[in-house]
Structure 1
Amino acid sequence: MVINIFILLLLLALGVSADQDAFVGVNIGTAVSDMPNPTQVAVLLKSQQLRHVRLYDADQGMLLALSGTGIQVTVTVPNQQLLAIAQSNTTASNWVSRNILPHVGTTNITAISVGNEFLTTNPNAASVLVSALKYIHSALISAKLDSQIKVSTTHSSSIILDSFPPSQAFFNRTLEPVMISLLEFLQSTDSYLMLNVYPYSDYIQSNGAIPLDYALFRPLPPEMEAIDANTLLHYTNVFDAVVDAAYFAMLYLNYTNIPIVVTESGWPSKGDSSEPDATLDNANTYNSNLIKHVLNNTGTPKHPGVATSTYIYELYNEDLKPGSESEKNWGLFDSDGRPVYVLNLMDSGSVLANDTTDRTYCVAKKDADKKMLQAALDWACGPGKVNCSVMLQGEPCYQPDTVVAHATYAFDAYYHQMAMADGTCNFNGVATVTTTNPSRDGCTFPGSGGSNGTINNGTSLVPSSNSTTSGGFSKLDSVSFFRLFGAFLWTVAFL
């Protein structure tokens, strides 16, 4: 069974042992020229049932927007702040007091990454890394938060040398003293190793030695599988080989019980002329296969059945990123909330909705009071931030020039702009949900998968029989339109 989705269901709490389920989360980068505001980001996350996110800082607006959502959040101490924190317990305490304590009890912060790939970007300052982690952890102990917030730091997979065969892998010798101290800290605090895994980069750098199918999780004939001669373990994809290389590198230093969470992985959907394998199809294939691999708790050849929870890089395409074209195109969505491509999952099990035909639309009731319809139409095109220009004379949705027809388009646009959340198709009783596509010649409705114009990323809630325009984010808490465990949606927020 193939299920076409605009984005993924991402599951449950952090799990790192064989009897716990893995999750897939998403990174939120902000190098976007038209970055949605935090509330808009939160709406998109909720509409797609994304339950785990990683921030590259501790942005207070974003943490406030995630308040009350239950979404598990990993925040980051930016690299430029790490040196000061490493030199002063007071500085670390102040950082926690300023960035974490205001959100305790409302926003579900579950981890702090102290730096991002700090060892590879600041090798001359590597010795201060563990001190910074310890000071942050001490601040959490003082606040009685150490049991609910893990402390770790993300690593580039390049800190692992000779990664194939995995059994011979080891950490960069110059970093070994730091890694020993770090692993000791992670073990003593029951934390985990954060690792960024990019099979795309490994594939590109191999100069043809790594087959594309091996990088993309595509099925391989047995004779094409990579075999570790020391362990006789068979590897069918780059991702597992890199993760196991990290496990073996830790084993080399006598650490055997520290789990790994992959904090970044993905594939670019577009590249320049020198990047022919950065394509929509390959990005779709990699991320779809990655999600299936993680959510099935497949594990790795070294640790079969042990969860390898993973954050996809990343939520939005980042057009402000420097470098090649591929650097700007790792996102699942454009900044307007439109999916970059449609993920395809095959036979992924009961976590997915079985019914994929339930496209719904919001339409005006034909017997509704015309004055109430007009008032609701005015609201949708005003505070509701729907782009109603397509209903002007001469535009695709002008005909028929009736309040019912125009209200129906505006209502449906708002309904899908708000990701079909409960309460967003009411308009004080003059609207209703239907499965009949109201599109007509030349006028494509948002719920049908097309658009006649750009819909603004509005966040106001529609006035309804049980809410007001000042009702805040609460109406989006309903899950009445979401299937089992908040399954995959057919339509995306901000379509």
Structure 2
Amino acid sequence: MAYWRLMAAVFIHLLPLAAMADQDAFVGVNIGTALSDMPNPTQVVALLKAQQIRHVRLYDADSAMLTALSGTGIRVTVSVPNNQLLAIGQSNATAANWVTRNILNHVPATNITAILVGSQVLTTIPNAAPVLVSAMKYIHAALIAARLDSHIKVSTAHSSSIILDSFPPSQAFFNRTWEPVMVPLLEFLQSTGSYLMLNVYPYYDYVQSQGAIPLDYALFRPLPPNKEAIDSNTLLHYTNVFDAVVDAAYFAMSYLNFTNIPVVVTESGWPSKGDSDEPDATLDNANTYNSNLIKHVLNNTGTPKHPGVAVSTFIYELYNEDSRSGAVSEKNWGLFDANGMPIYVLHLTGSGSMLANDTTNQTYCVAREGVDRKMLQAALDWACGPGKVDCSAMVQGAACYEPDTVAAHATYAFDAYYHRMAMAEGTCDFNGVATVTTTDPSHGRCIFPGSKGSNGTFINGTFLDPSSNSTSSSSSLPFITHDSVSIMRIFMVLLSSVVLL
């Protein structure tokens, strides 16, 4: 009889993880606002809808943003900013007022599903740590009063640095300095059916390892069995940093006797540009990491410790934030620029839908807005000359003559070259005056290369690449050489030098 009681207790204890195993994981995005030209909330929501992004995390509870999200069905995680934490953690009434103002005024029209009380509190504002759990309880009590506690979870986002000795994962534990906070915090998450929210950044783990972590291991690239990391205590095999960090969190919780709290990753990504001392912050690495991350999460593979248990993740982040201070990499974590143009073309073919439906090959190369006209003209001349683009469609009276502008003609020539080169990496740059888009620029009788004559049907398409893996598409095309792309780049640099003289 005692045996069956024990087994029943274990079964009930593991129910939250079992429930997570039955749910499909999601990939969402964080929406930072440190942009010098931040799109307005309506524009932000238009981009989310066009890319079919169904989960977002806000770093505050901005009323205009929540209003714009109303009626969309998009699942929204809002945040109590760190500078409001002390007041809320010391006053039940203040917490109730915050919930009334920021939650009750927007639900149910806006689908708010979680509240994060502070961000990385233990590592960034440790003086507020003593009131963190109180703040979470006060917010939750206000939700109970409004009968929203079953729909809106309460948690807080942690830096993964609160986990010490993280490899092998089975030896991981939370920084014992924070045990007086972590134990009641985990008790709260367990009792309310909430999640441990964790920021996971393999980029920083890789950089700080000073060569100890292979780049392929950080980027989810396939590893031969003899290169996989093995936890000597559990004999579990790890093929990427992300899974190892998530499992370290699970083991750290189990060290404190909590085994039924699921992990949700609130931030993860890779910068696409960096300073001279940040050589691995590149477009290709950012593309590879985020593409592989999305496929890994949406495949519901889970982690070696909890295979099949969803690890839902928010990508950091929607936009590049040019107003953010610090290194160049700090400004370049976004999937899009402020104009809603993709920073790079994700390799997602065959992985289901994320960001939008898979419309393979429906990407176009267009002239960037606001670039120098002389540079644009030089690029157009190169495309119609040495680039060997057939520009006859742009002569007077032809289908693509109108509008008779350098930008319109350059867009046609750029796209023709881009598709003639099979959309290989580096073939839509033209010395910085071109960019990839998913909006079909075809108009009237002017049908662009790569278009199916739909005149904009793919406006809400994705920025997907025809490649299904994380390597450059040029590597699988024997008739496209790196030399030809490099020669084009050199020629464009020479042209730009002539223009500037």
TM-score of Structure 1 vs Structure 2, range by shorter chain: 0.7 to 0.9
**2:345 and 2:464 in contact (8 A); partners too:** no
Q: Which of 186, 189, 192 lines up with 1:186 in the alignment?
A: 189
**1:28 and 1:315 in contact (8 A); partners too:** yes
Q: Which of 29, 33, 47 lines up with 1:30 in the alignment?
A: 33
Which residue number corresponds to residue 335 of structure 2? 332
Structure 1 stretches of 4+ moved >4 Å: 349-355, 357-361, 394-409, 437-455, 480-483
**1:316 and 1:332 in contact (8 A); partners too:** yes
**1:16 and 1:308 in contact (8 A); partners too:** no
User: Which residue type is aligned with residue 294 of structure 1?
Assistant: V
In 2, distance between residues paired with 1:143 and 1:442?
A: 56
- Aligned-residue offset at 1:490: 6.1
Q: Which of 275, 279, 284 lines up with 1:276 in the alignment?
A: 279
Cα RMSD (Å) of the superposition? 3.6
Q: Which of 120, 130, 133 lines up with 1:130 in the alignment?
A: 133
Within-5 A mapping of 1:140-289: 140-289=143-292
In 1, distance between residues paired with 2:333 and 2:410?
A: 34
- Aligned-residue offset at 1:356: 2.0
Alpha-carbon spacing, 1:117–1:274, altered in 2? closer, same or farther (3 Å) = same
**2:287 and 2:347 in contact (8 A); partners too:** yes
In the alignment, structure 1 residue 295 sits paired with structure 2 residue 295: no
User: Which residue type is aligned with residue 321 of structure 1?
Assistant: R
In 2, distance between residues paired with 1:454 and 1:439?
A: 8
**1:16 and 1:22 in contact (8 A); partners too:** no
Q: Which of 315, 318, 321 lines up with 1:318 in the alignment?
A: 321
In the alignment, structure 1 residue 18 sits paired with structure 2 residue 56: no
**2:218 and 2:240 in contact (8 A); partners too:** yes
Within-5 A mapping of 1:308-457: 308-345=311-348, 347-349=350-352, 353=357, 355-357=359-361, 400=396, 406=402
Q: Deviations over 1:251-303 (max 9, x none)?
A: 00100110010000000011101111111110010000000000000100000
Alpha-carbon spacing, 1:440–1:337, altered in 2? closer, same or farther (3 Å) = closer
In 1, distance between residues paired with 2:207 and 2:153?
A: 34
Which residue number corresponds to residue 76 of structure 1? 79
User: Which residue type is aligned with residue 300 of structure 1?
Assistant: T
**2:347 and 2:464 in contact (8 A); partners too:** no
Alpha-carbon spacing, 1:62–1:353, altered in 2? closer, same or farther (3 Å) = closer
Alpha-carbon spacing, 1:111–1:408, altered in 2? closer, same or farther (3 Å) = farther
Alpha-carbon spacing, 1:316–1:489, altered in 2? closer, same or farther (3 Å) = closer
- Aligned-residue offset at 1:357: 4.3
Which residue number corresponds to residue 458 of structure 1? none
Q: Deviations over 1:35-55 (max 9, x none)?
A: 111111111111100000000
Q: Deviations over 1:122-144 (max 9, x none)?
A: 12321110000000011111111
User: Which residue type is aligned with residue 316 of structure 1?
Assistant: Y
Q: Deviations over 1:363-415 (max 9, x none)?
A: xxxxxxxxxxxxxxxxxxxxxxx99x99xxx9989974899965799xxx9xx
**1:318 and 1:328 in contact (8 A); partners too:** yes
In the alignment, structure 1 residue 139 sits paired with structure 2 residue 149: no
Alpha-carbon spacing, 1:442–1:222, altered in 2? closer, same or farther (3 Å) = closer
Report the secondary structure of 2:260's partner residue. coil
In 1, distance between residues paired with 2:413 and 2:298?
A: 41
Report the secondary structure of 2:309's partner residue. coil
Instruction: Name the one with the larger helix percent.
Output: 2
**2:352 and 2:358 in contact (8 A); partners too:** no
**2:362 and 2:458 in contact (8 A); partners too:** no
In 2, distance between residues paired with 1:404 and 1:285?
A: 36
Q: Deviations over 1:340-362 (max 9, x none)?
A: 1111125425888565245799x
**1:82 and 1:114 in contact (8 A); partners too:** yes
**2:78 and 2:114 in contact (8 A); partners too:** yes
Report the secondary structure of 2:28's partner residue. strand
In 1, distance between residues paired with 2:226 and 2:33?
A: 43
User: Which residue type is aligned with residue 308 of structure 2?
Assistant: G
In 2, distance between residues paired with 1:246 and 1:281?
A: 29
In 1, distance between residues paired with 2:228 and 2:217?
A: 8
In 1, distance between residues paired with 2:55 and 2:151?
A: 15
In 2, distance between residues paired with 1:331 and 1:399?
A: 39
Deviates more, 1:299-308 or 1:120-129: 120-129
Report the secondary structure of 1:247's partner residue. helix
TM-score by length of 2: 0.72
Which residue number corresponds to residue 431 of structure 1? none
In 2, distance between residues paired with 1:274 and 1:81?
A: 36
User: Which residue type is aligned with residue 311 of structure 2?
Assistant: T
Report the secondary structure of 2:311's partner residue. coil
